[in-house]
Amino acid sequence: MRTVRDAAFDVLRLHGLTTLFANPGSTEVALLSDLPDDLDFVLALHEGSVVGAATGWALARSEPALVLLHTTAGLGNAVGALATARENRAPLVVLVGQQDRRHLAQEPFLAGRLAGLAGDYPVRLETPVRAQDVPGAIGRAAHAARVGRGPALVIVPMDDWAQPADGLPVPAPSTLRQATGVDTGAVREVAALLDAAASPALVVGAGADDAVTWRALTALAERLRCPVWQEPFGARAGFPQDHPLFAGHLPAERGRLRAALAPYDLVLAVGAPVLRQNLYEDGPLAGDGTRLAVVTDDPAEAQRAPVELAVVAPLPAFCGELAAGVRDRSGAPMPVLGRPAAPRPPREGEELRAAQVLAALAERLPAHTVLVEETPSSRPDLHALVPARQPLGFLSAAQGGLGFALPAAIGIRMAVPERPVVAVVGDGSSLYQIQSLWTAAHYGVGALFVVLANGRYAVMDQLADRHGGKPPWPAFEEVSVCGLARSLGCPARRVTGRAALLAELDTLLPDLAHRTAPLLLEVAVRPDRPLAPDARAASGSRPALDPRPAPEELA
């Protein structure tokens, strides 16, 4: 007898959902026992790690990843990671187990009130009315995840999988196509704004992180001879950050943001919100002399943008036509943009600083490395010192919650094993999903985890200092991240001092793309403040500015 389970497997194959990330329970056993050989199962030891790894996989492949969660406990544990997946626009198909349909009315043990548990973060949630509706619901979830670029949930009672597949309804379309054409009138309207501007600038964001859009934006910036800024809190790079026209990362504090944008009479955001903030401050995002416009493929992003003109369009095609349509100013002098100086090496016997570790990494990382970041107190230094040189070169949690970097790095490396993957993580951040290291070790995932260990929540200490108060939370210098990694089967070494650090990096990084086992380096660093503001003074009247977020913007 052909079962609902058999039909569901066919739907999963149709949509390329053949790698299953899970931490299952009893309500999922009927689905997983004797899993077909063409379906791969990846176990993680916590649901945050499950969803984090699937998020990395989905972002690396630009295709939905498959997740399985165990009723209330599993979905509840995963909600924070699902929120991050939604903000990072990662397409996920999430199957959530439920108690047996035949006695749900009595609310048996492990029955879940699941429909609203993840709040508004799913792009779709479906509870099939009968077992035979499950395969079609999975197909609809796959389409919803692709189109909405977020997690789509299907809640499946445990007895549904064994039900006969007779009388299945017409499922979701096998293929769903979206138009990718460009409104030429909208291109002309944006080009006219740029042509009328005496000093335009671009702000790029995560939505522009693909090879075609990078090429188009590079051509556009070079024709305009204009600087390109990265959005505040950018979860991905939208432009090659080693390009001469890259100006740096915009601050998210409004006063500093207005100062950064003051030299420009038009700012066009591409693939970025306008302009994301954290702590509230009175006043506009830009001064009276600066007009704002946005081009995005996210309708919600366009609708909430405080701009003069918002255009919703497929970015690769739109940016290509825009680059060809603007007035060519490439004969004008190239603006001179400052670059931050590398920090001085530590003196003999002096503890390493986070910036010194990042500078050493920057000198040695292959250009095609995927760097996954979760080090709040050192993120400004990372932005200043470690440029993203290829698409998917930088990734962090758009939503801001901790526990993303370790599992995401694992999922990325599994999805694109040809690229080196390095996660740079604070020791405090690492503890939120330290369990994910077991998955890396068990499945032979050759990612490198660099943990900047200062034994405290340094960014919170900085916040307390700026507020003029004494923090009530203690340091946790007793915690050995290296020891925790080893207990989970992940090779790990603790590094102290510059000579030991350089020896490790010089040995590891040249062969990083070929690693078949993970490695964690716990690098002892002193708790300190980010680098002093650097001057990025260009020709003309541009002021010297620190383009990096202040520590309070990273909490």
Rounded to the nearest integer, the mean pLDDT of the chain is: 90
Q: What are phi and psi of 345, to 5 degrees?
A: -65, 155
In the block, residue with structure tokens 């062969």: 511
**Same domain, residue pair 143 and 214:** no
Beta bridge partners of residue 312, listed in sequence order: 296
Contact 57, 412 (CB under 8 A): yes
* pTM of the full structure: 0.91
Beta bridge partners of residue 523, listed in sequence order: 452, 495
- Assigned domain for 534 exists: no
| Tally of structural domains, the chain | 3
* C-alpha separations of 270 from 24, 232, 235, 472 in Å: 40, 13, 14, 42
Q: Helices in 149-236 by DSSP H: which ranges?
A: 184-196, 211-224
- Assigned domain for 530 exists: no
- Assigned domain for 529 exists: no
pLDDT score of 171: 67
CATH of residue 322 = 3.40.50.1220
pLDDT score of 412: 98
**Same domain, residue pair 214 and 324:** yes
* pLDDT beyond 80 at 405: yes
Contact 149, 124 (CB under 8 A): no
**Same domain, residue pair 199 and 113:** no
CATH of residue 113 = 3.40.50.970
Q: What are phi and psi of 198, to 5 degrees?
A: -80, -30
**60 membership: H or E segment, kind and range:** helix 47-61
Tokens at residue 3, please? 């079962």
Contact 346, 499 (CB under 8 A): no
**Same domain, residue pair 363 and 327:** no
In the block, residue with structure tokens 């403040």: 529
**Same domain, residue pair 295 and 441:** no
Q: Over the stretch 377-404, which tens digit does the pLDDT of each residue have? A: 899 999 999 999 999 999 999 988 899 9
**Same domain, residue pair 149 and 217:** no
- Assigned domain for 491 exists: yes
pLDDT band at 170 (very low <50, low <70, confident <90, very high): low
**Same domain, residue pair 329 and 409:** no
Q: What are phi and psi of 21, to 5 degrees?
A: -95, 125
**Same domain, residue pair 482 and 379:** yes
Beta bridge partners of residue 308, listed in sequence order: none
**Same domain, residue pair 358 and 291:** no
**Same domain, residue pair 21 and 88:** yes
* CA dist., res. 505 & res. 526, Å (int): 19
pLDDT score of 168: 72
Q: What is the percentage of the chain residues whose pLDDT exceeds 90? A: 76
Tokens at residue 44, please? 């993680």
Q: Which domain holds residue 481?
A: 354-524
- Assigned domain for 339 exists: no
**Same domain, residue pair 151 and 204:** no
Percent helix, percent strand, percent coil in the chain, to nearest 5: 40, 15, 45
* pLDDT beyond 60 at 442: yes
Q: Over the stretch 227-269, which tens digit does the pLDDT of each residue have? A: 999 998 889 999 999 999 999 999 988 999 999 999 999 999 9
- Write down which residue in 302, 334, 366 finishes a domain: 334
Contact 279, 233 (CB under 8 A): no
Contact 441, 489 (CB under 8 A): yes
Contact 8, 161 (CB under 8 A): yes
- Assigned domain for 546 exists: no
pLDDT score of 514: 95
- Assigned domain for 495 exists: yes
pLDDT score of 467: 75
- Assigned domain for 221 exists: yes
**Same domain, residue pair 233 and 323:** yes
* pLDDT beyond 60 at 191: yes
